Homo-oligomer: A and B are copies of this chain.
Amino acid sequence: MGYREDEDPMGKLREPLREIAQCGLPSALEAMGERWSFMILRAAFNKVRHFEEFLEQLGIARNILSNRLSRLVENGILKREHCADDRRRIEYRLTEKGFDLLPAMLALRQWGEKWELGTPANPVLCDDRDHRAIGPIVIRAADGRPLDHHELTWLDRADVAADPNASGAKVRKIA
């Protein structure tokens, strides 16, 4: 459970990663950049819910797990819930924000499979409807066609072409 701000045996007395040019990456890394965070997230996606279960699945030290879980809860990626049937048990569940990390996690995982593992891994993530494996995570243009890194440029927000389908002062989503 929560460490207080003042005397914190394992706290984040660390300078936040410099937020150059107002980029979302440092913020994302602030929440997910620590050694075990992605592995915990992966376990959570695999329906791991309880402290001892994470402990066993990941082979992480108890104090680190405790700290990482608290951090993920603070960041709104997991939520803590007491079980109804056993008041001692605490369930850690993904929030919407947590689920939304799935594309990032899969992109990383696919990269690892392609370049490090060399072989497709075994539990394969599939489309529920037809049981076919999902496609690779790629970058796509607004119209949906895949882009590779030669076809990309960084533009100042002022120079970005408006979405022709957008009406007036519609807020652009991301990227």
Q: State the A residues within 8 Å of B (CB).
A: 17-18, 20-33, 35-36, 38-39, 42, 46, 57-59, 76, 97, 99-117, 119-142, 144, 147, 149-157, 159-163, 172-175
The answer to whether A126 touches B101, judged by C-beta atoms less than 8 angstroms apart, is: no
Which B residues are CB-close (under 8 A) to A122?
21-23, 156-157
The answer to whether A137 touches B103, judged by C-beta atoms less than 8 angstroms apart, is: yes
Evaluate whether A151 and B175 lie within 8 angstroms (CB atoms) in the complex, with A29-B39, A134-B140, A135-B142 already known.
no
A130 to B: closest C-beta gap in Å = 6
In the docked arrangement, what's the CA distance between A111 and B96, Å? 12
A-B contact pairs, 19 of them (CB 8 A): A21-B122, A22-B122, A23-B109, A24-B112, A24-B121, A25-B42, A25-B109, A26-B112, A27-B113, A76-B115, A104-B137, A114-B174, A125-B152, A125-B154, A126-B175, A131-B159, A133-B160, A133-B173, A137-B137
In the docked arrangement, what's the CA distance between A11 and B82, Å? 41
The answer to whether B23 touches A124, judged by C-beta atoms less than 8 angstroms apart, is: no
The answer to whether B144 touches A113, judged by C-beta atoms less than 8 angstroms apart, is: no
The answer to whether A124 touches B173, judged by C-beta atoms less than 8 angstroms apart, is: no
